[in-house]
Chain A
Amino acid sequence: MVNPLWLFALSLGAAFLLPLVDRLGRRIALVLVHGVTAAWLAAGLSWLAVLLSGGEAAEFGTAGFRAPLAIVLRVGLAEAAGVTAIALTGLLAAFSLTRSLREAPLGGAMALLMALMGLSGIVLTRDLFNLFVFLEISAIGTYGLLGFDDRKPALRSAFKYMIAGGLASSLYLIGVIYVYRLADTLNLDIAAAGTALSGPAGTAAVFFLLAALLVELKPFPANGWAVDAYETAHPGISAILSGASATALLLALWKILPLLGPAHLSLVAGSGLATFAAGNLVGARQDRPLRMLGYSSVAQVGLVAAVAALARLGGLGDGGADFAAAVAGGLLLNHLLAKTGLFLLAGAVEDDDARGRLAPLSLAAAGVLSAALVGLPPFPGFWAKWRLVRALADSGLWWILAIVLGGSLLEAFYVFRWLGLRAKGEAGEAPVRLGIRSAGPVLAALLLAAAGALAGIRGPVPDLLLWAPWAAAAILFLLDGTPGWLKGLLSVAAAAAFGAAAWDRLDGFRQFFAVMLLGGGALFSIAALRKGGPRRGLHPLLAAATLALGAILVARTPLEFFFAWETMTAASWLLVLRGRGGEKPALSYIVFGLGGAFLLMAGLAAGGWDGGIAAAGWPGLLVLVGLLVKAGALGVHVWLPGSYAESDDESSGFLSSALSKAPIFALFALALSLGAALPGGPWTSRALGWLGLATALGGALYAVYQEDIKRTLAYSSLGQIGYILLAFAAMDQAGWTTSLYLALNHFLYKSMLFLAVAGVIQRTGTRNMYEMGGLIKKMPVSFLSVLMAIIALSGVPPLSGFGGKWLLYSTLIGKGWYLETAVAFFASAVAFLYLYRLIHSIFLGQPKPSQANVREAPVALVLPQLVLMAVLMAVSVFPRLMLDPILALVGDRFPAAFVFEGTRLRSALGYWDGTLTMIVTGGVFALCLVWMLANLHNPQSVKQFNIVFAAERPLRPETTHYAWRFFEPYRKALGFLTRERAERFWDAFGTGAASVGGALRRLYTGNGQTYALHVVLYVAVLYLLLGVL
């Protein structure tokens, strides 16, 4: 292995000669500086190569001696990785720093060289006092870098930073000298091997060392000085501070862990967790991006420190160093790359004071970096967090698990809020182009993706089929400039190929859902061709979400399942964000999506490990609740209407008809793995039944009062999911049959509705129903499609929905749930109101003059509708097409309640014959038509303005439209049921969290002396706690 001393000699030689080299020109000097950093990177990589191929860690003495006489450097895996990371961050930051370094005095370049060398020294040395020297080198380098480009705010921050740094270095020196006095050595390994430090004096001496390192790691509340610096420094410097410096300091902490006793370790863990929680709480209140990233940085570092300490305490994981290295290292790598990239990116945007949306490449990088930071798959943080959560659940450390997941959710909230802002930009602003400054972030994003994929494929998820969503997204993003039809065809082909590859691995249940999930994805990929042009981003995301749904079916282990689940969540979130007004709905979509996913994660992690979702008891209930959040059950549905309404029209359809079946599938899978039962027993199913019912009623009631056609459909979906849940909760043959039947039906008619509505919106340019009317002649196919869909949905004969209702009531009455039956009946009646309105306000009535030129919807929408109409007709006439497979799926798990006799389906209450129903209804309809044609003489068509106005002009013309507030009378009667209680509850919840954050951030007064006071008080309190522990 390369002796690290050569690199120190190189760094120092270059630094010392830099003033002379600078006379030849600043460019040459900077080439030298970056060249030295590159040499460090090369050395780090070469060490990694040697160590990963089985090489032994090596120690290098100085001055021809070894420990304890001389200072020794050690190159092990952690050190090699640390040096590589530091040099890498340095080089990434160099992209953005070069210009400033060229213009500023030479001191900047010298300080950069010194800071990076100092950080590497912190990582490599095994000598406690030498560690101090390197801490100071990097500190002085940092102080110099903070002020080098003469930003006034950074100068202020630098002074605050120096005060805290001075306190920390004094504490460290006190610790080091007493460690020497007691242990008679300065070498870490020798000191750790002895017992001299275990007494009270040793504990106190080690405490001083530890306190200094903890302060340097920026713990809450003693971190105001650091956050100020993150906010104000040159973004490249913030990146180095947050990425490289944190890495070095965490490795320093890692190094002294063997010196620490249990009490010390508890302090580290407690302080780290408090920092993680508080940092994220305060970060959520922050609207300045760089300061927000600063809070996020301190939070992440706190988490890594806590994990390292907990693992060392022996209370976590398999207890080995491997666990700590994998989890803490994974989290650290993730933080390092993500935060470096984000600081560079956000800093460049802030430096330009730009308000527009980011250009595509930068935006993609921002998305990857944000997703990685939050711990979405497939980035390294995801794998680390999974292992961490699993270990926490195994050890029964539920409260820590809650802190970790809660903090992560807060972080997701504010990071994605920022991303949404950058994805959308302020109206009327030009797109932000960063040029060469985006090189660093893009590179960081690529590295994150590569590291994550490598960790996953070579680790816990080797199944390539599960990676198909990512591959599809990547390929289609690369092809994003090509015409839409090509990408659409590729998407359909991808869905088909996935289905073909996976089919044999799927059992009946999964095949049943695969038809809906993959078929739905393909369907809406075709629908997406309705507009010309490349439609950037839409196809890749749609394909990724579709294949992720497929991956959920393919998954065999809890981790695979969760991996696919979060992939699906992330892809669909981006679909929502892509919509025109998608910024806010997307934020609540992802926060609730991740909230549900985290509950799922906790449950899965705590549950059984023998394949599938096998979780009984509390873990099972967590899984159940997580799935219900994703399904949008009443109370946690607040994310749903906005997301469905504001995303692109084909995305809304996809979300509503296909993706909403994913939680339904997962519920079935959960129940199946528990032997067709729910965790928690009969009470759970009773509660779930009522929840489904409430959702059905609530969805219908909300839908009635909407003016926005897509909101109506969104609430309608909510209601239909409620019925599916209600039937599922019955937990018998009738219930499950009904539930699956309703699910497939909902897929059919909701697809038709969304496709038709997409056409209507595309042609009329509005989503408000009162602005439409009389489209029946202009869009006949769409009309027919909507008509059939609402007949099917409302459950009147002759279409398949009638059978669905019959099945549902049979189930409920057979189960003895009479009150539920009554409420379900009432909800169906309510549903009829909004369905009637769809036909009435859009297709019937007077055509608008402004919509005189409206044509039928594009072929890409009409064709799928025709196919769906045919299918709907077929399954209505021949119900056995649908019910036979479903009955076979439900099988003999339960006593049979439904039996077919020819075309008749019999239950204890009677029978239903779909074919007969169709014949009878058709006959009645034909008779009526004949009678009408025979008796109706001289029909008169009413012209547009053939109405009488009173002699007044309304203030808002639309208020006179007959379709405006169509159901206002009903609102007076039933409005009390539809006050948005859930919205208010979650608003209050958010306000509560925000006010905690607001109170905490009052600590950060901006006064450097107050920050110093926090530091000293923090140390004092820590010492008192040490005495208690």
Chain B
Amino acid sequence: MSLLEFVSRINPVAASGAVLVLVGVWGVLARPNLFKIAIATSVMETGVNLVILSTGYIRGRTAPILDSAVAGTATDAAGAAARMTDPVPQALVLTAIVIGLAVTALQLSYAVRLRAAGGGSSIESYGDEKW
């Protein structure tokens, strides 16, 4: 497979999602600030969500909603189905987004809570339990 061919096969949404995941992971591993870690986690999850979404995309098709865009009449179910993208990743990503949001909210609250207790915002100052 030539390079050009490979590049043409790349799914741009998946690629950007994967890069975003790596950026997020880097943030989690390299930024000591509690809030930045939480946000980096969120970035990583966003990347994952893009990856999920990318697998449902089919060239030339439209949203899986049965309206005038896909079907003249509602009875032409099979014909309509042939014009729609894969709905499953879209359904999954919805769940994943909300869960990610919930985790981020809780993680941020912990960060607020820890900082309010006077330990500062750097994760390095929360290492009393060790060995």
Question: Cβ of A153 and Cβ of B129 under 8 Å apart?
Answer: yes
Question: Cβ of A163 and Cβ of B55 under 8 Å apart?
Answer: no
B89 within 8 A of A: yes
Question: Cβ of B106 and Cβ of A231 under 8 Å apart?
Answer: no
In the bound complex, what is the Cα–Cα distance between A1013 and B27 (angstroms)?
Answer: 11
Question: Cβ of A1002 and Cβ of B48 under 8 Å apart?
Answer: no
Q: In residues 162-197 of chain A, which contact B (Cβ within 8 Å)?
A: 162-163, 165-167, 169-170, 173-174, 176-178, 180-181, 186
Cβ-closest chain B residue relative to A154: B129
Residue interface bits A128-170, CB-to-B below 8 A is 1, else 0:
0100110010011001100100001101111110110111011
Number of residues of chain B lying within 8 A (CB) of chain A: 41
Q: A136-B99, A155-B117 are in contact. Are A170 and B128 (CB under 8 A)?
A: no
> A166 contacts which chain B residues (CB < 8 A)?
28, 41, 44-45, 103, 107
A1006 within 8 A of B: yes
**Residue A152 contacts which of B30, B96, B117 (CB distance < 8 angstroms)?**
B117
Interface segment out of the listed B2-10, B59-67, B75-83, B108-116: B108-116
B19 within 8 A of A: no
> A163 contacts which chain B residues (CB < 8 A)?
28, 37, 41
In the bound complex, what is the Cα–Cα distance between A180 and B52 (angstroms)?
Answer: 10
> A186 contacts which chain B residues (CB < 8 A)?
88
A659 within 8 A of B: no
Residue interface bits B115-130, CB-to-A below 8 A is 1, else 0:
0010100011011111
A1004 within 8 A of B: yes
A1009 within 8 A of B: yes
A1 within 8 A of B: no
Question: Cβ of A136 and Cβ of B103 under 8 Å apart?
Answer: yes
Question: Cβ of B45 and Cβ of A155 under 8 Å apart?
Answer: no
A131 to chain B: closest CB distance in Å? 12
Question: Cβ of B28 and Cβ of A1006 under 8 Å apart?
Answer: no
Q: Which residues of A are interface residues toward B (Cβ below 8 A)?
A: 129, 132-133, 136, 139-140, 143-144, 147, 152-153, 155-160, 162-163, 165-167, 169-170, 173-174, 176-178, 180-181, 186, 224, 228, 231-232, 285-286, 291, 1001-1002, 1004-1009, 1012-1013, 1016
Question: Cβ of B45 and Cβ of A170 under 8 Å apart?
Answer: yes
Question: Cβ of B128 and Cβ of A1006 under 8 Å apart?
Answer: yes
4 other A-B residue contacts (CB within 8 Å) besides A231-B129, A291-B129, A1009-B29:
A133-B95, A156-B128, A162-B106, A170-B21
In the bound complex, what is the Cα–Cα distance between A599 and B20 (angstroms)?
Answer: 54
> A167 contacts which chain B residues (CB < 8 A)?
25, 28, 44
A391 to chain B: closest CB distance in Å? 35
Question: Cβ of A1008 and Cβ of B123 under 8 Å apart?
Answer: yes
Q: A133-B99, A143-B106, A163-B41 are in contact. Are A156 and B29 (CB under 8 A)?
A: no
> B45 contacts which chain A residues (CB < 8 A)?
166, 169-170
In the bound complex, what is the Cα–Cα distance between A158 and B38 (angstroms)?
Answer: 13
Question: Cβ of B129 and Cβ of A159 under 8 Å apart?
Answer: no
Question: Cβ of A155 and Cβ of B113 under 8 Å apart?
Answer: yes
> A177 contacts which chain B residues (CB < 8 A)?
51-52, 55, 89, 92
In the bound complex, what is the Cα–Cα distance between A1002 and B89 (angstroms)?
Answer: 43
**Residue A173 contacts which of B28, B48, B114, B119 (CB distance < 8 angstroms)?**
B48
In the bound complex, what is the Cα–Cα distance between A639 and B117 (angstroms)?
Answer: 50
In the bound complex, what is the Cα–Cα distance between A1004 and B130 (angstroms)?
Answer: 5
Question: Cβ of A159 and Cβ of B126 under 8 Å apart?
Answer: yes
Most chain B CB within 10 A, of A133, A152, A166, is at: A166
B34 within 8 A of A: yes
9 closest A-B pairs by beta carbon, nearest first, are: A1006-B127, A1006-B130, A156-B126, A228-B129, A166-B41, A181-B55, A177-B52, A1001-B131, A1007-B127
Q: A153-B128, A1004-B130, A1006-B130 are in contact. Are A162 and B92 (CB under 8 A)?
A: no
Q: A143-B106, A1007-B127 are in contact. Are A174 and B25 (CB under 8 A)?
A: no
Provide 23 A-B residue pairs closer than 8 Å at the C-beta atoms, listed in order of the A residue: A129-B92, A133-B99, A136-B102, A143-B110, A153-B129, A156-B114, A156-B128, A159-B34, A162-B103, A166-B44, A170-B45, A173-B51, A173-B52, A174-B51, A178-B55, A224-B130, A231-B129, A232-B129, A1004-B130, A1005-B130, A1006-B127, A1007-B126, A1009-B29
> A178 contacts which chain B residues (CB < 8 A)?
55
B32 within 8 A of A: yes
Cβ-closest chain A residue relative to B21: A170
B123 to chain A: closest CB distance in Å? 5
In the bound complex, what is the Cα–Cα distance between A1005 and B127 (angstroms)?
Answer: 7
Cβ-closest chain B residue relative to A1010: B127
In the bound complex, what is the Cα–Cα distance between A173 and B34 (angstroms)?
Answer: 24
> A147 contacts which chain B residues (CB < 8 A)?
110, 113
> A153 contacts which chain B residues (CB < 8 A)?
128-129
SS of A interface (majority): helix
Q: A156-B114, A163-B41 are in contact. Are A1009 and B48 (CB under 8 A)?
A: no
In the bound complex, what is the Cα–Cα distance between A1009 and B36 (angstroms)?
Answer: 12
Cβ-closest chain B residue relative to A1000: B131
**Residue A1009 contacts which of B32, B103, B129 (CB distance < 8 angstroms)?**
B32
In the bound complex, what is the Cα–Cα distance between A1007 and B52 (angstroms)?
Answer: 31
A35 to chain B: closest CB distance in Å? 26
Cβ-closest chain B residue relative to A161: B110
> A180 contacts which chain B residues (CB < 8 A)?
55, 88-89, 92
Question: Cβ of B110 and Cβ of A162 under 8 Å apart?
Answer: yes
Question: Cβ of B129 and Cβ of A157 under 8 Å apart?
Answer: yes
B34 to chain A: closest CB distance in Å? 7
> A1007 contacts which chain B residues (CB < 8 A)?
123-124, 126-127
Question: Cβ of A140 and Cβ of B106 under 8 Å apart?
Answer: yes
> B130 contacts which chain A residues (CB < 8 A)?
224, 228, 1004-1006
> A158 contacts which chain B residues (CB < 8 A)?
110
Question: Cβ of B89 and Cβ of A159 under 8 Å apart?
Answer: no
In the bound complex, what is the Cα–Cα distance between A1008 and B38 (angstroms)?
Answer: 12
> B117 contacts which chain A residues (CB < 8 A)?
152, 155
In the bound complex, what is the Cα–Cα distance between A1013 and B37 (angstroms)?
Answer: 13
> A165 contacts which chain B residues (CB < 8 A)?
103
Cβ-closest chain B residue relative to A159: B110
Cβ-closest chain A residue relative to B106: A143
Q: A1006-B128, A1009-B29 are in contact. Are A174 and B48 (CB under 8 A)?
A: yes
Cβ-closest chain B residue relative to A229: B129
A84 to chain B: closest CB distance in Å? 28
In the bound complex, what is the Cα–Cα distance between A849 and B34 (angstroms)?
Answer: 74
> B44 contacts which chain A residues (CB < 8 A)?
166-167, 170
> B25 contacts which chain A residues (CB < 8 A)?
167, 1016
> A1004 contacts which chain B residues (CB < 8 A)?
130-131
In the bound complex, what is the Cα–Cα distance between A1009 and B123 (angstroms)?
Answer: 7
In the bound complex, what is the Cα–Cα distance between A153 and B124 (angstroms)?
Answer: 14
In the bound complex, what is the Cα–Cα distance between A907 and B46 (angstroms)?
Answer: 92
> B21 contacts which chain A residues (CB < 8 A)?
170, 174
> A144 contacts which chain B residues (CB < 8 A)?
106
> A157 contacts which chain B residues (CB < 8 A)?
129
In the bound complex, what is the Cα–Cα distance between A134 and B128 (angstroms)?
Answer: 31
> B55 contacts which chain A residues (CB < 8 A)?
177-178, 180-181
> B95 contacts which chain A residues (CB < 8 A)?
129, 133
> B127 contacts which chain A residues (CB < 8 A)?
1005-1008
In the bound complex, what is the Cα–Cα distance between A174 and B92 (angstroms)?
Answer: 12
In the bound complex, what is the Cα–Cα distance between A285 and B130 (angstroms)?
Answer: 12
In the bound complex, what is the Cα–Cα distance between A186 and B55 (angstroms)?
Answer: 14
Question: Cβ of A155 and Cβ of B110 under 8 Å apart?
Answer: yes
Most chain B CB within 10 A, of A156, A1002, A1012, is at: A156
Question: Cβ of A140 and Cβ of B102 under 8 Å apart?
Answer: yes
Residue interface bits B22-58, CB-to-A below 8 A is 1, else 0:
0011001110101001000100110110011001000
Cβ-closest chain A residue relative to B104: A166
